[in-house]
Amino acid sequence: MNIKQRIENLSKELLRHQYLYYIKAEPEISDKEYDRLFDELVALEKKYPEYAFKNSPTKRVGSDLDNVFAEKKHEIPVLSLDKEYTLQGLTKWVKKIISNSERELSFVVEEKIDGASIVLYYKNGVLDSALTRGNGMFGNDVTENIRTIKQIPLITEEKSDFAVRGEIFINKSDFLKYNKSFENKYSNPRNLAAGSLRNLKSSVVAKIPLNFLAYEGFFKNQFCNNHILILLKLKHMGFCINKNIAFFSSNVKDISVVPNEFPEIIKGKIKDISAYIEGKIKGRNKLDYEIDGLVVKINEIDIRENLGHTSHHPRWEIAFKFDSPIAQTVLKNIVIQVGRNGRVTPVAILEPVKIAGSVVSRATLHNQEYIEILELGPGDLVSISKRGDIIPAVEEVIEKSYENPAVYKFQENCPFCGSRLIKQGAHHFCKNKKCPERMKRSLIHFVSKDQMDIDTLGEKTIKFLFERGFVKIIPDIYKFNYDLLLKEEGFKEKRVDNIKKSIDKSKSRPFKKVLAALGFDGLGTSVASELIKNGFNSIDKIIEIASKGEKEEFSKIEGFGTITAELLIEHFTDNKNLELIRELKKWELNFKEKIESETLKIKPFENQIWAITGSFKNFKPRSKAAEKIEQRGGKVNNTISSKTTHLLTGSLSGSKLERARNLNVKIVNEKEFLDMLNLSL
Amino acid identity of residue 393, one-letter, is A
CA–CA dist 240, 213 (Å, integer): 5
CA–CA dist 217, 238 (Å, integer): 13
81 lies in the site for ligand IVH, by CB under 6 A: yes
CB 169, min distance to ligand IVH, A: 9
Task: Classify residue 594 by its DSSP letter.
Answer: P
Q: Which residue in 59, 112, 440, 533 is the catalytic one?
A: 112
Taking Cα atoms as reference points, which of 297, 354, 295 lies closest to residue 322?
295
Site for ligand IVH in 303-332 (CB under 6 A): 314
Stretch that binds ligand IVH, among 10-18, 111-119, 421-429, 488-496 (CB under 6 A): 111-119
CB 237, min distance to ligand IVH, A: 18
Stretch that binds ligand IVH, among 112-120, 372-380, 396-404, 424-432 (CB under 6 A): 112-120
CB 310, min distance to ligand IVH, A: 11
CA–CA dist 562, 553 (Å, integer): 10
Stretch that binds ligand IVH, among 74-82, 336-344, 593-601, 605-613 (CB under 6 A): 74-82
Q: Which of 7, 97, 113, 589 binds ligand IVH (CB under 6 A)?
A: 113
Stretch that binds ligand IVH, among 78-86, 384-392, 584-592, 595-603 (CB under 6 A): 78-86
Q: Which of 45, 141, 144, 167 binds ligand IVH (CB under 6 A)?
A: 167
Q: Which is nearer to ligand IVH, 117 or 179 (CB)?
A: 117
Q: Which of 20, 79, 657, 663 binds ligand IVH (CB under 6 A)?
A: 79
Q: Which is nearer to ligand IVH, 242 or 645 (CB)?
A: 242
CB 387, min distance to ligand IVH, A: 22
398 lies in the site for ligand IVH, by CB under 6 A: no
Q: Which is nearer to ligand IVH, 295 or 334 (CB)?
A: 295
228 lies in the site for ligand IVH, by CB under 6 A: no
- Name residues whose C-beta falls within 8 Å of residue 534's C-beta, 6 or more positions apart in sequence: 557, 601, 602
DSSP string, 614-628: SB-SS-SSTHHHHHH
Q: Which is nearer to ligand IVH, 298 or 477 (CB)?
A: 298
211 lies in the site for ligand IVH, by CB under 6 A: no
CB 114, min distance to ligand IVH, A: 7
Q: Which is nearer to ligand IVH, 14 or 109 (CB)?
A: 109
Stretch that binds ligand IVH, among 73-81, 174-182, 373-381, 514-522 (CB under 6 A): 73-81
- Name residues whose C-beta falls within 8 Å of residue 601's C-beta, 6 or more positions apart in sequence: 533, 534, 535
Shortest Cβ contact with ligand IVH: which residue? 117
Q: How far is CA 266 from CA 30, 91, 189, 272, 455, in A?
A: 35, 19, 27, 11, 66
Taking Cα atoms as reference points, which of 166, 152, 144 lies closest to residue 237?
152
Verify whether residue 112 is a known catalytic residue.
Answer: yes
110 lies in the site for ligand IVH, by CB under 6 A: yes
CB 97, min distance to ligand IVH, A: 16
619 lies in the site for ligand IVH, by CB under 6 A: no
290 lies in the site for ligand IVH, by CB under 6 A: no
545 lies in the site for ligand IVH, by CB under 6 A: no
Taking the CA of residue 271 as centre, how many other CA atoms within 13 Å lie in the half-sphere pointing to its CB?
Answer: 2
Q: Which is nearer to ligand IVH, 21 or 93 (CB)?
A: 93
CA–CA dist 341, 310 (Å, integer): 47
CA–CA dist 205, 144 (Å, integer): 9
Q: Which is nearer to ligand IVH, 76 or 391 (CB)?
A: 76
295 lies in the site for ligand IVH, by CB under 6 A: yes
CA–CA dist 189, 211 (Å, integer): 12
CA–CA dist 87, 79 (Å, integer): 23
Taking Cα atoms as reference points, which of 121, 288, 117 lies closest to residue 193?
117
CA–CA dist 167, 212 (Å, integer): 6
Q: Which is nearer to ligand IVH, 121 or 215 (CB)?
A: 215
- With H, G, I as helix, E, B as strand and everything else as coil, classify residue 170: strand
CA–CA dist 12, 6 (Å, integer): 10
What would the 3-class secondary structure string for 199-253 be?
Answer: CCEHHHHCCCCEEEEEEEEEECCCCCCEHHHHHHHHHHCCCCECCCCEEEECCHH
Interface with ligand IVH (CB under 6 A), residue total 13
87 lies in the site for ligand IVH, by CB under 6 A: no
Active site residues: 112
Residues that bind ligand IVH (CB under 6 A): 79-81, 110, 112-113, 117, 165, 167, 215-216, 295, 314
